[in-house]
Amino acid sequence: MSDAKWNPIWDRFIEIVRQEVKPALGCTEPVSLALASATAAAQLSGRIERVECYVSPNLLKNGMGVTVPGTGMVGLPIAAALGALGGDAAAGLEVLKAASPEAIAHAKTMLADGRVCVRLQEPCAEILYARACVYTADSDASVTIEGDHTRIVRIEKQGETVFQRCDREGQCGEDPLAALSQTTLRDILAFIEQAPFERIRFILGAARLNDALSREGLAREWGLHIGTTLQKQSDRGLLAKDLSSAIVIRTSAASDARMGGATLPAMSNSGSGNQGIAATLPVVVVAESLSESEERLARALILTHISAIYIHHHLPRLSALCAATTAAMGAAAGMAWLMDGHYDTLARAISSMIGDVSGMICDGASNSCAMKVSTSVSSAWKAVLMALDETAVTGNEGIVAHDVEQSIANLCALACHAMQATDRQIIDIMAHKA
């Protein structure tokens, strides 16, 4: 393709993927707090004595039950301590990748001594909010993250502000995601079919990272070990050895490993490793079964990831809607394109998924996320098979509309409005568990 045919919106699409599809080690909510702690600690010299943190209810919800990589422990306090003692403030969502055994041991000691606390920020207008205050014997620093897992908005040292983010009202340039408000699935499809391969080849990194995580999940019994359990049942003859099973087994295994504390990064989507896993691995499995080229795989993965971002960007960063479902809708688009390449097929697949799993709740990040991932990708493949047979949930049924774009809008309206009360109820239940 010639340069003359390059559509300027495609530059935004590439920018969006590079912004929203990133390596992440560990669940991104505890990691976000670890990043705040690491950044605060980087402002100080001397021995870290204690860490105090304040988080939004949604961040607390997603940090209560997930294992922090390399520690064998769950929860936000160990993430905060390890971030301060062994985190790399320059590594973003991989802040804990270089944490040493000594730092991990020191963090556990600090917790045992009662020198780490994590409290709810009340009141809190931000859905995603983390503030870490790190203390040495004679100095202190605090870092505040708002709105996005790596979006540092304020750094203070000894009570003085040393950094204040300036783009809250957009002074520092438009968010690339804004382009999606004027985008359709047809636009995304045109991009992935016409863009030069060399411009999108980078997305193959998602396949490599998440496949490695899947292999780790099948090699050991991480978390609820759903992947290995289903593999065993397949070997026993209780589950078919077919493409549908392979999609579910390999995808859930990656989520097992991630949520169980494996020290391998996931390629995330929209700030979530599980979303990245759910978007990537079904497409990889289908591409392998069809013996597709790297170029075809890359185009399918770009379609998958942009579609998942396109659907998710209308939602709050954290909500009561399990976003493994919306990520798997992206995977449905990618798989459908690999199977026959027609817009109508992928549109039908997404609509059927909205009619199938749109009410799945998020009750916090935990090992059980792998079950929701497995359910979502199973729904995706079922929806693709229906679409290939020119069958789909129609606008005569439930929240699904005759037009897929309106179906997506209806789903997002449900999550943004009615499910806010659901979210509050979930958080209240979790906060009062014995």
pLDDT at 365: 87
Q: What is d(CA 54, CA 51) in angstroms, rounded to the nearest whole number? A: 10
39-79 pLDDT, tens digit per residue, is 999 999 999 999 999 999 999 999 988 899 999 999 999 99
From the list 359, 312, 317, 354, the residue with the least C-alpha distance to 332 is: 354
The pair of three-digit structure tokens given for residue 219, joined into one six-digit string: 């090699």
Residue 408: count other Cβ atoms within 10 Å of its Cβ: 22
Q: What's the Cα-to-Cα distance from 347 to each of 115, 419, 420, rounded to whole Å?
A: 53, 25, 27
Give the Cα-Cα-Cα angle 99, 100, 105 (nearest 5 degrees): 105
pLDDT at 170: 46
Classify the C-alpha dihedral 299-301-304-310 as positive or negative. negative
Torsion of CA 46, 44, 75, 313, to 10 degrees: -160
Each domain of the chain, given as residue ranges in start order, spans 24-164, 183-431
Q: What's the Cα-to-Cα distance from 268 to each of 33, 115, 243, 283, rounded to whole Å?
A: 17, 32, 24, 15
Decide: residue 117, CB within 10 A, 0-12 exposed, 13-18 middle, 19+ buried: middle
Classify the C-alpha dihedral 412-404-392-340 as positive or negative. negative
Residue 184: count other Cβ atoms within 10 Å of its Cβ: 14
Give yes or no for a contact between 86 and 20, defined as CB atoms under 8 angstroms apart: no
From the list 57, 71, 41, the residue with the least C-alpha distance to 420 is: 57
Q: What is d(CA 419, CA 62) in angstroms, rounded to the nearest whole number? A: 16
Find out if CATH 3.30.1490 is the number for domain 24-164: no
Query: What's the predicted TM-score (pTM) here?
Result: 0.94
Classify the C-alpha dihedral 391-392-395-401 as positive or negative. negative
From the list 20, 10, 19, the residue with the least C-alpha distance to 270 is: 20
Q: What is d(CA 252, CA 221) in angstroms, rounded to the nearest whole number? A: 12
Give the Cα-Cα-Cα angle 400, 405, 410 (nearest 5 degrees): 45
DSSP 321-355: B-THHHHHHHHHHHHHHHHT--HHHHHHHHHHHHH
3-state secondary structure of 145: strand
DSSP 179-235: GGGG--HHHHHHHHHHS-HHHHGGGHHHHHHHHHHHHHHHHS--TT-HHHHHHHHHH
3-state secondary structure of 26: coil
Which parts of the chain sit beneath pLDDT 50? 1-4, 168-171, 434
pLDDT at 2: 40
Give yes or no for a contact between 308 and 326, defined as CB atoms under 8 angstroms apart: yes
Decide: residue 90, CB within 10 A, 0-12 exposed, 13-18 middle, 19+ buried: exposed
Backbone angles phi, psi at 236, to 5 degrees: -80, -10
Decide: residue 73, CB within 10 A, 0-12 exposed, 13-18 middle, 19+ buried: middle
Identity of the amino acid at 145: I
Strands 116-120 and 129-135: unpaired
